[in-house]
């Protein structure tokens, strides 16, 4: 079975980095299929490299030991993944189904390189629709005074299935710092506004009251600060004074689906690197 390696690197920018990486790949008979790089204003170098697996001279077990001296010499943060070992994705959802069903459809259609072991919800109303895709559905309600226990059960389920990516598809619960710390830069949320505008709850109503001429959606990593994580993708829809709040919700839902799907796919394909409060996305 054919496969590729994906090598993601960030480090201080200096002369010779690309030459060192290319020489390492060449030394081990590797064929570079694609290479993207970027240097931020802060002087940090970012790179995404895809290498053909067939014929490459290092096994998966050997790669880390062989590449570590190069990484140390250039003070690199790095990770490698393999296209024949897809990430495991879980979705957390509440009552809104539009983003969840879109993700399920795209997954079933082969648009995502991922396994989809489970959906977790604090409501039970979406069970039949999720299970029609062959994906297990776990109902974990948030009862008064029991939110901490519910979250603990969620984390246990994610750990049981070795989840690599957690997608919040309009999951209307705020995650605790402990939850966020367990999945650093591995929780993607969709917020139904063009952040940093209208942070928090009910953004379409507030956008309508403000009379905006453009609404949007933002996919971002989750951090301890509400709706302030690193932005992965955004898009907008134009609106007018004739649009009601219901119109904004409908138009915004279309944008939400599109934005979240792209962010999820880019994360699964190792196209996103975090640069402090920003991201570098090699589309």
pLDDT higher than 80, residue 127: yes
What are 49-101's pLDDT values in tens digits? 999 999 999 999 999 999 999 999 999 999 999 999 999 999 999 989 999 99
**H or E segment and range at residue 11:** strand 4-12
C-beta of residue 29 within 8 angstroms of C-beta of residue 57: yes
Residue percentage of the chain with pLDDT more than 90: 96
Predicted pLDDT of residue 34 = 97
Helix-strand-coil percent breakdown of the chain, rounded to 5? 35, 30, 40
pLDDT at 266 over 90: yes
CA-based torsion, 130, 131, 136, 139: positive or negative: positive
pLDDT digits over 143-194, tens only? 988 999 999 999 999 999 999 999 999 999 999 999 999 999 999 999 999 9
- In the numeric block, the tokens 């599109």 are attached to 258
- CA 84 – CA 151 distance, rounded (Å): 31
**Rounded Cα gap, residues 233 and 219, in angstroms:** 5
Per the structure block, which two tokens stand in for 149?
């226990």
What span, in angstroms and rounded, lies between the C-alpha atoms of 238 and 250? Answer: 12
**Alpha carbon distance, N-terminus to C-terminus of the chain:** 26
Q: Angle, to 10 degrees, between the axis of helix 60-73 and the axis of helix 17-27?
A: 150
Cβ 69 vs Cβ 98: under 8 Å: no
| Pairing status of strand 165-168 against strand 187-191 | parallel
- Which entry of 162, 227, 247, 275 is annotated as an active-site residue? 227
Looking at residue 178, its pLDDT comes to 95
pLDDT at 36 over 90: yes
| Residue 90 DSSP symbol | E
User: What are the residue ranges spanned by the domains of the chain?
Assistant: 4-82, 87-281
Whether 202 is a known active-site residue: answer no
- pLDDT tens, 195-209? 999 998 899 999 999
Residue 117 parent element (H or E): strand 114-121
Domain 4-82 matching CATH 3.30.70.260: the answer reads yes
Give dist(CA 11, CA 169) in Å, integer: 32
Nearest to 91 by CA among 201, 3, 185, 187: 187
Distance CA 140, CA 136 (A): 13
Average pLDDT estimate for 20-48:
97
Per-residue pLDDT, 89:
98
Look at the domain 87-281 and name its fold.
Rossmann fold (3.40.50)
Q: What is the pTM of this model?
A: 0.95
Mean of the per-residue pLDDT values for the chain? Answer: 96
**Confidence band for 1, pLDDT divided at 50, 70 and 90:** confident
Q: Provide the pLDDT for residue 144.
A: 87
């Amino acid at each position: 079975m054919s496969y590729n390696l994906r090598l993601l690197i960030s480090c201080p920018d200096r002369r010779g980095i690309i030459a060192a990486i290319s020489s390492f790949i060449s030394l081990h008979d590797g064929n570079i299929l694609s290479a993207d790089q970027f240097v931020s204003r802060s002087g940090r170098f970012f790179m995404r490299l895809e290498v053909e697996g067939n014929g490459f001279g290092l096994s998966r077990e050997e790669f880390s030991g062989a590449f570590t001296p190069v990484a140390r010499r250039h003070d690199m943060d790095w990770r490698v993944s393999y296209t024949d070992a897809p990430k495991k994705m879980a979705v957390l959802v509440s009552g809104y189904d539009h983003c969840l069903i879109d993700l399920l459809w795209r997954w079933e259609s082969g648009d995502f390189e991922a396994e989809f072991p489970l959906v977790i919800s604090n409501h039970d109303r979406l069970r039949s629709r999720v299970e029609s895709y062959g994906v297990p559905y776990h109902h974990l309600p948030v009862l008064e005074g029991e939110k901490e226990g519910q979250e603990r059960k969620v984390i246990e389920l994610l750990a049981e299935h070795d989840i690599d990516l957690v997608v919040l598809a309009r999951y209307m619960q705020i995650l605790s710092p402990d939850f966020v710390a367990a999945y650093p830069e591995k929780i993607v949320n969709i917020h139904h506004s063009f952040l940093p505008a209208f942070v928090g709850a009910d953004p379409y109503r507030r956008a309508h009251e403000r009379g905006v001429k453009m609404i949007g959606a933002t996919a971002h990593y989750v951090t301890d600060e509400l709706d302030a994580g690193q932005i992965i993708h955004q898009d907008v829809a134009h609106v007018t004074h004739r649009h009601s709040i219901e119109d904004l919700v409908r138009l915004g839902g279309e944008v939400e689906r599109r934005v979240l799907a792209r962010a999820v796919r880019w994360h699964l394909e190792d196209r996103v690197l975090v640069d402090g409060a920003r991201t570098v996305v090699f589309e």
